[in-house]
A and B are shown apart, each in its own frame.
Chain A
Amino acid sequence: MNLDQIDSREKAIAFLDGYTEERKEELDTTKTRRPLVKSYMLETVSRDKPVPTLESIFDRADCTLTPLDQTLFRVFDRRDKRTRGFVEKLVDRYPVFYTCESSKNMDPWVNHLVRSSSWLDHLWLSGRAFEQLMRIVLKYSPGNRYGRIVFQHESFFELGEVQEPGNGNTQEEEESQEPLFPGGDIFPTEEPDTFVSERRSTRFTVLERLEVLKDILPNMQKIYHPLHAIAQVRFPARGRGGHDFYYFGKVTNRSDSFTDHRQHIQFVLRIYKKATEDTETAMWQAKKVRPSKKASGEVEISGAPVLLKFGQQLSHDTFDRFVRLTFGRKDNRFRLWGNPIRLGPCKVHIYGLDRHLWQPIFLELTDSHIVAIVPEGTCGNSIHRLVTNVQQFLDPAVEVWVGEHPYTELINAEPGLDDIYATK
């Protein structure tokens, strides 16, 4: 079916469901050459802030949205004049883009979409967040189902003159190497004839029964720290197959049902939403009215710093490259803006901005830690992005606290019934 002919929610869901089933049948016979359905979880603005319409956000990236109903839109790319997929306001604050095109095409396309608008960001799932999500998966899924975890860490700032890592390359590489069937080898057996930088790099996949993963993962992480840098996790689907969640918010559907895929995304988004809002409540430096029994309310300035404590001290060179490649480039991966004030060989302060929403964030970077002070209004996603990228490219074993509470505690909460019954 031509996507342009789809003019209602029912047709869109039926199309995505049918397409999913066909691809799953092909997957089972190891024959598929057509891309799987994939979704990209995005973030707009923090709570209580006015948000421009999705139409105007996508318009900035040369896309026209055609409403199929109040919350689902068809996405037409004006640059190459074709429909790319659908976007849905699935959970308040988090639109999700569905497409049937390949990751090779769509990872850069979504990256362009996000970079085109200060109102959009990827959804960032750090290794620490994945660990918490894995706990929930392990709790509710039968132990004999298979789970898949991809660990990925590259010490980009360690040695040699390096290019700041870009979103596209890593993801394209992942797509081209995705296994056609479970258990397939995703890595080339031979190293290409190119210069190999001498810095730590880890990328490998574990496909194992959940009951085994539950036992071995904590022990493996104790022995080898890069295994904290989880970049992808497969959630078993209700039926066959699963849903691959990537650290930058992409979800590939390897199940036989689009509805199941959409429900898994909704489940993760609700956990993420709660974690983000709890992080914001804990860290925002703001004057708040605390309810009081005696009076109408007592004013108090609350907020707590966020601390990222490195497992290993960075070398002087690594620290310098990290600062230079992050704050010397406007399109840096951390999406931060600022002019570092040097306070010592391995200490800088940045009174800068997060380019998502251009909200203030103050950072102390040293060779042993990062401290962030986050004024009210700055999106909690800033911290998720910081932690994710630090784990991927600087220190996989970084420990994170918001005030005196471990960051992982904030991601631990499962959605309550109120969230489950919420209309958005």
Chain B
Amino acid sequence: MPLNKLIGDELYQINLILWMLQPSKGIPVKPLLAQAGFRIKDIEVELPLPVSLKNRLAANHIAVSDPVTPDIVMARKGGEYVLAECKKSMFGSGSTGAEPSSQIKQARSLLLQIPRILESALGLHPGSVVKSSVVYLSREDSTKDQLKGIKEIDSALGGAGYETAACGLLVLRVQNKEIVASAEQSDALGGTMKDVFGKGVVVHSVQDDETDPRPLYIVPWMPGGSSDSDDYGQAVFGNRVLAAAAACIGLCRPACDVEVGIDELLSAATQGHFKLWKKKSVRKALRSNVKKLIEEVLKKFAPDIVADDLIHPGQGWKISIPDDRAQSMVVEGFRKWQAQKWNERPVPLLFDKEDTQ
């Protein structure tokens, strides 16, 4: 993927922030946020608005996302919290009277996360959050004021009497074949991001023109993200599903039956984030894609292995492993599979409600 396209990729952006938050020697990403004292509090955590605030917003006809799910919540000593949201491109504030977009509703909910609201959403002791702010991360676009939309949303909320958190923008650009982050448009945040990034600092060095610079992905996939067609992201996610399946089989002692649950595979492959992805269409598509992937591998590499459905088709399998040879065949099959093109996009359902299962 060309560098300029990569820095606009949300999955890359999220992983870049996660790398910047981990203490390290700066290979492959400089741990600038960790050095500034920030630590990861959570990834894709749901922040519900207090009922009273939500009711008042409804009375004022202000549509919001509830709960809102920022990509990353980070914090440092002294109760300073930052909500980070990654975007391929920034957005406008919408035209008057039109139904606000999901990005606008999300922005409103993020801006409403002043310390008292945020600590309530995180279940923290009152007074734990002293300062809260919102940071968007996006690819630099010097042709326009990328924060204009956010400023208008902020101003509208303020005009309606709501308190809002400070908001800034961290932009990525390619400079001398290196990836640079800049916080020039983050005046509202005060010193925090300005001190760390200023007018631009190299965050990720590129090895050479022939080498894809991506670091290891800690988060392999985001539902509804722009990375669905990215072969690398798909391979990472697919390999992690296959590794989770191989782990189930590898640890068993033949002859035995091994229960392999699809939700368990997805949960292991996403370090538990699958449980947070609430959209029914996303969960349905992922389950179906994993089912197809595992059954294809078994059919190709271990056609004699009996894999019965668990109680309900689509829930998983009870796989019979008769001996060490069969175990080895299945595990090797999972290893050899090329999983670049396995995860088809979810088809939005007509009534795409949250899955309560």
Q: Which positions in A face B, CB cutoff 8 Å?
A: 60, 118, 285, 287, 292, 294-295, 298-305, 307, 309, 330, 337-339, 341, 343-347, 349-353, 355, 357-360, 362-364, 366, 369, 371, 373, 375, 401, 403-404
Contact = CB atoms under 8 A, between A and B. Distances in A.
B251 A285 contact: no
Contacts of B75: 300
Interface stretch (B83-91, B274-282, B335-343): B335-343
B142 to A, nearest CB: 29
Nearest to B128: A294
B179 to A, nearest CB: 15
A401 to B, nearest CB: 5
Contacts of B240: 351, 360
A309 B236 CA distance: 24
B24 A347 contact: no
B20 to A, nearest CB: 12
B211 A375 contact: no
B346 interface: no
B255 interface: no
A391 to B, nearest CB: 18
Interface of B: 22-25, 27-28, 31, 39-43, 75, 124-125, 127-128, 207-208, 210-212, 214-216, 218, 220, 232, 235-236, 239-240, 242-244, 246-247, 250-251, 253, 268, 271, 328, 331-332, 335-338
Contact of B25 (A287, A299, A307, A346): A307
A357 B215 CA distance: 26
Contacts of B242: 339
A309 B26 CA distance: 11
Contact of B24 (A292, A304, A345): A304
A355 B335 CA distance: 12
A355 B328 CA distance: 12
A371 B335 contact: no
Given A343-B211, A344-B210, A404-B25, A352 B243 contact: yes
B25 to A, nearest CB: 5
Given A338-B335, A347-B212, A366-B207, A401 B25 contact: yes
Nearest to B24: A305
A364 B19 CA distance: 13
Given A295-B124, A295-B128, A330-B328, A358 B211 contact: no
B218 A285 contact: yes
A343 B214 contact: yes
B255 to A, nearest CB: 13
Nearest to B35: A404
B236 A345 contact: no
Given A309-B25, A337-B335, A358-B250, A353 B243 contact: yes
A284 to B, nearest CB: 12
B236 A341 contact: yes
Contacts of A360: 240, 243-244, 247, 268
